[in-house]
Amino acid sequence: MSEDLIKRQSVIATIEAMFERCTTHDIIDYKELMLESVKVLPSADIPQGWIPCEERLPEKGSKVITCDNEGDIDAMWYEKSFDKDICVWKDDYSIEWDCIVAWMPLPEPWEGADDE
């Protein structure tokens, strides 16, 4: 099951763009009502920190940060094994690892600063 998480500011920008050329007061009031509704929605509950593999595993095909039984940290893929019908941990060289004890989602990519 995939989590469908969206950024609140993206929704607000979309609503603003939808109503950009509207001048009718009823429509403008509706736009303001929509914006206020989005602003009070609860934030998505994104897991923070390590998730034990015994508790939950990532979706197949996900790249996540992993921690093995010796405390070493790496980024790995959780995907189908080459020779078995199961999911396994693989590094970027497709080497399978069986000692992963915890994982966490990768952070959002850095967007950089405006250079204007």
Confirm whether 116 is domain-assigned.
Answer: no
The answer to whether residue 2 scores a pLDDT higher than 60 is: no
| Whole-angstrom distance, CA of residue 43 vs CA of residue 63 | 24
Confirm whether 20 is domain-assigned.
Answer: yes
Confirm whether 113 is domain-assigned.
Answer: no
Regarding pTM above 0.75, the answer is no
User: What's the pLDDT tens digit per position in 59-107?
Assistant: 889 999 999 999 999 999 999 877 777 788 898 888 888 899 999 999 8
Domain CATH number, residue 87? 2.30.30
Q: What is the CA radius of gyration of the chain?
A: 21
Confirm whether 63 is domain-assigned.
Answer: yes
What is the helix (H) or strand (E) element at residue 31, kind and residue range?
Answer: helix 25-39
Do 1 and 34 belong to one domain? Answer: yes
State residue 9's pLDDT score. Answer: 79
Q: E-strand spans in the chain? A: 51-52, 62-68, 73-80, 87-90, 96-97, 100-105
The answer to whether residue 29 scores a pLDDT higher than 90 is: no
Do 73 and 88 belong to one domain? Answer: yes
Q: In Å, how far are 21, 24, 34 from 28, measured between CA atoms?
A: 10, 6, 10
Q: Which domain holds residue 20?
A: 1-46
